[in-house]
Amino acid sequence: MRTLTARRGLADPFPPAAALALLAVAAAALEASILCWASIGALAGYALSGSV
Amino acid sequence: MRQDAVLAVFTLGLLLGGTVSALALWSLSGLASPLPPPARTPVILAAAAAGVARELGVLSLPLPQNARQIPQEVLHVHLWRGVLQFGFELGTGVRTYVPSSAPYFLALALLLARAPLTAAVLTGAAFGAGRALSAALTYLARDPARAAAVAARIPHIRVIAVSASLAAFSLLFM
């Protein structure tokens, strides 16, 4: 049951986008520029979900 | 064939493709050096703002995407090489559809911001990793409804992606 719930959680595409967005903004606020760039890169790639 | 092995090779291709594109943009960024930073920053942020407006449907802006899909034949000749090539081509972001504003804004930022080489390499690899994350979640979730969930949520995800990029670069550059 717990496994099924975890898998359902993985099926929602929204949380990773929210987490990456928060990471990008937090990294910028902390002047961690390389982490900020990488987070924005990951976010741009993730924004193409479902597109091939 | 093991699906996790296919996913691993596909991910490797995505990471390589993203890195190569980012390196190409970083190499060309020297062309922007005559522009002083005070002139570059507003252009980057204006492009991000235009991307937000586009994703919200406020601004109609066609994207210069390569409106084609990678031919399935690449998977038929040699499977492992085909999976790697498929991932690589997707990772470059120039060989197939790119319907979100965020990658274009990112490319412009890499071209104009004169980021350090490390940042460019990691940004490109992270772009590939971001694309791979979606495939990995689809594999791990094993939920036939995920494709519909992605289709329903993707407009919001695109808004978040470019809005967060605008916010982050505003903080970083200003």
Structural domain spans, chain A: 13-52
Q: What is the Cα–Cα distance from B158 to B109, expressed in whole angstroms? A: 17
Asked if the model's pLDDT at residue A4 lies above 70, the reply is: no
Q: Which two tokens stand for residue A4?
A: 């099924």
Write the pLDDT tens digit of every residue in B57-101.
999 888 887 777 777 777 777 888 999 999 999 999 888 888 899
**Is ipTM strictly over 0.85?**
yes
For chain B positions 10-69, those within 8 Å of chain A (CB to CB) are: 14, 18, 22, 69
Tally of domains within chain B: 1
A4-8, A36-40, B16-20, B70-74: which range is least confident on average? A4-8
Q: pLDDT under 50 in chain B at which residues?
A: none
Domain residue limits at B84: 3-173
Q: How confident is the model at residue A20 (pLDDT cuts 50, 70, 90)?
A: very high
Residue of B nearest to A22 (CA): B164
- Does the beta-carbon distance from B168 to A40 stay under 8 Å? yes
Question: Could you give the CA distance from residue B154 to residue A31 in angstroms, rounded to a whole number?
Answer: 29
